Amino acid sequence: MGIRGQNVKKFWGFCRNEHYSVGCTGGTVYVYGSKGEELAKFRHFPYAYTAIFKPNSNIIAVKSTEGFLGFYDLDSLSLIKKITVTRLGAQDEGFAFTPDGRYFCNIEKPVNSCQTQLGIYDGT
């Protein structure tokens, strides 16, 4: 799917499902419809570089390297949950929903520690 008639943005992260495409530039999360039309711009988090879809839904999780997680409902184009993981350190490690979408798993790494931990959140 190409995004026609627009200036092409450079995305750090990009994901899509059958209904929506999502591109992250770091400062803005762009949401596009199935025909490439821009539907929304979210600017709730600094340094938001990656997003993923919850399985079998139009909900996305966005991870900010600034220590935030955000969950958006793309059908209503709204922020449904914001979590502060930590304000101490980069959060640029991996994250994923479980295949059934019941849990969201996030690798968390505070700067003041050599240890990495796995945060598990309710995905419902």
In tens, the pLDDT along 85-105 reads: 876 655 667 899 999 999 999
Report whether 106 contacts 121 (CB < 8 A): yes
Residue 2 lies in a domain: no
Sheet hosting strand 48-53, strand order edge to edge: 48-53, 59-64, 68-73, 78-84
Domains contained in the chain, number? 1
Mean pLDDT, to the nearest integer, of 31-49? Answer: 93
Residue 38 lies in a domain: yes
For the entire predicted model, the pTM comes to: 0.84
- Distance, in Å, from the CA atom of 62 to the CA atom of 57, rounded to the nearest integer, reads 15
- Distance, in Å, from the CA atom of 102 to the CA atom of 100, rounded to the nearest integer, reads 5
Report the relative pairing of strands 21-24 and 13-16 from DSSP bridges. Answer: antiparallel
Report pLDDT for 1. Answer: 44
Domain hosting residue 118, numbered range:
13-122
User: What's the CATH code of the domain at 101?
Assistant: 2.130.10.10
Predicted confidence (pLDDT) per residue in 28-38, tens digit = 999 999 999 99
Residue 3 lies in a domain: no
What average pLDDT does the chain have?
A: 86
Residue 94 lies in a domain: yes
